[in-house]
Amino acid sequence: MERTFIAIKPDGVQRGLMGEIIGRFEAKGFTLVGMKLIKPTRELAEKHYGVHKDKPFFGGLVDFITSGPLVAMVWEGEGVVASARKLIGATNPLTAEPGTIRGDFGISIGRNIIHGSDAVETAQSEIALWFSEEELTSWESKMKTSIYE
Ligand code: IDP
Ligand code: MG
């Protein structure tokens, strides 16, 4: 089953949106297989955002993501990588559609509340970066036959 890496960024934690955000993934029908509240090291944040290392916003992004606790999660389900990106919405919260997490709760691109892996391969490497195997728990929801055809 497909898995994706989701992080509620420090702004989402500080604004008290943890329950709201986790609830949206739960209500959709996805399964939480790993979760921890952590203040990431600079090394971890730089690896996570390595693809952006030459961008002008990289330093500020790493400063921000290491500024306080974030909620790192792994969610599982059919098509969860692309579906999570849709639940999250466009990178810029001002242009993100209402109904999406960024569209409903954000204004600035540098305070867009949540991260989600952008492809299946990215998800695999991000999950391996943030979690050890022992921190992930496979389980089957008893609602599975009501969620999947
Ligand atoms: P994504 O989070 O929607 O995948 P990316 O383009 O991968 O967006 O950018 C990673 C993160 O970097 C964004 O979520 C946002 O927090 C930050 N970011 C992207 N572009 C800018 C910018 O122009 N200014 C400030 N921060 C930015
Ligand atoms: Mg991205």
Q: Would the CB of 110 count as within 6 Å of ligand 1? A: yes
Q: In what order do the strands lie in the sheet with 31-38?
A: 31-38, 70-76, 3-8, 114-116
Instruction: Give tens-digit pLDDT for 18-30.
Output: 999 999 999 999 9
- Whether pTM > 0.95 for this model: the answer is yes
Read off the pLDDT of residues 31-81 as tens digits, 9 standing for 90 and up. Answer: 999 999 999 999 999 999 999 999 999 999 999 999 999 999 999 999 999
Q: Is any ligand 1 atom within 6 A of the Cβ of residue 91?
A: yes
CB neighbour list of residue 138: distance below 8 Å, 6 or more residues apart: 33, 76
Q: What's the pLDDT band for 94 if we cut at 50, 70, 90?
A: very high
Average pLDDT for 86-115: 98
Residue 102 has what pLDDT?
Answer: 98
Q: Give me the residues paired with residue 100 across strands.
A: 98
Beta bridge partners of 36: 72
Confidence label for 1 from pLDDT (cuts 50, 70 and 90): very high
CA 146 to ligand 2 centroid distance, Å: 32
Instruction: Using the mean position of ligand 1's atoms as its centre, give its distance from the Cα of residue 91 in Å.
Output: 6
Q: Compute the distance between CA of residue 76 and CA of residue 41 in angstroms, rounded to an integer.
A: 26
Confidence (pLDDT) at 90: 98
* CA 52 – ligand 1 centroid, Å: 9
Ligand nearest to the CA of 92: 1
Distances (CA, A) of 94 to 16, 32, 34, 55, 141: 20, 28, 30, 21, 35
Pocket mutation for ligand 1, best pick of 58, 109, 126 (most atoms within 8 Å of C-beta): 109
Predicted pLDDT at 29: 98
**Integer Rg of the chain from CA:** 15
Residue 52 catalytic? no
- Residue 35 near residue 71, CB atoms below 8 Å: yes
What is the pLDDT confidence band of residue 5, given thresholds at 50, 70 and 90?
very high
What atom in ligand 1 is closest to the CA of residue 64?
16
